[in-house]
Amino acid sequence: ELKVEQNPLFLSMQEGKNYTIYCNYSTTSDRLYWYRQDPGKSLESLFVLLSNGAVKQEGRLMASLDTKARLSTLHITAAVHDLSATYFCAVEGDDKIIFGKGTRLHILP
Amino acid sequence: GAGVSQSPSNKVTEKGKDVELRCDPISGHTALYWYRQSLGQGLEFLIYFQGNSAPDKSGLPSDRFSAERTGGSVSTLTIQRTQQEDSAVYLCASTFRIMTAAYQETQYFGPGTRLLVL
């Protein structure tokens, strides 16, 4: 059974600092997704990762995938307040997509 | 606009009634996904369509839930005999997906339908 564990669940950090969100999953998967959700809003797709060693970057966010370790990371560089949101990872396998519980990120000015 | 649209945006219904939720994907998108988000269960995948076909329906929470997609476009999610635990935000997303290729497609989400079952 595919399970996804995301941590931390809550993260409060200062502007300008770096931090990493981790996403572990239990079985082989076809795709790994990262999403952002602002309060009261729908989901926004950030990254789709397919292959081992894949790395994608968009602005201050960088996602990577290690399929051997069954681990993806979302790294935040020099955080700014606008990045405050909830971030979800999700793993696709066997025609299903399983989500992590989300990381609520609060960036303090 | 050319984004994913969902209707209704909000729906309040009485327990036991049937509801139908609609998703209009981005034109040309081959794959369509249904999810729901609730306080108790977080984000759940319900079903996805490639074209008009759904490879796996086991993500639907119960046999009261059904979904269909016609003409490779609009999809409807129907909940029969609604229960209070069906209250959630139902999200739809679409993407252009080529099954035979390792294609890094992006999902585009609709604004959601907020369902409240009284």
Identify the band that residue B118 occupies on the pLDDT scale cut at 50, 70 and 90.
very high
- Comparing alpha-carbon positions, the chain B residue that sits nearest to A97 is B45
The values of phi and psi at residue B69, to 5°, are -140, 130
Is the pLDDT reported for residue B1 higher than 60? no
| Average pLDDT estimate for B43-64 | 89
Q: Tell me which residue of B97, B102, B3, B112 sits closest to B53, measured CA to CA.
A: B97
| Average pLDDT estimate for B64-70 | 94
Which of A4, A31, A43 is most worth mutating to test chain B (most B CB atoms within 10 A of its CB)? Answer: A43
Which residue shows structure tokens 């931090």?
Answer: A19
Cα(A30)–Cα(A98) distance, integer angstroms? 12
Calculate the alpha carbon distances from A21 to A7, A16, A38 in Å. Answer: 6, 16, 17
| Average pLDDT estimate for B4-18 | 97
CA contacts within 13 A on the Cβ side of B14? 0
What is the pLDDT, as a whole number, of residue B104?
58
Which of B43, B58, B112 is facing A88, going by the closest CB pair? B43
| Average pLDDT estimate for A6-35 | 93
DSSP E strand boundaries for B39-107: 42-50, 65-69, 75-79, 88-95
Q: Is B24 on the interface with A (CB under 8 A)?
A: no
Q: What is the mean pLDDT of chain B?
A: 90
- Comparing alpha-carbon positions, the chain B residue that sits nearest to A40 is B111
pLDDT digits (tens, 9 = 90+) for A57-87: 999 999 999 999 999 999 999 999 999 999 9
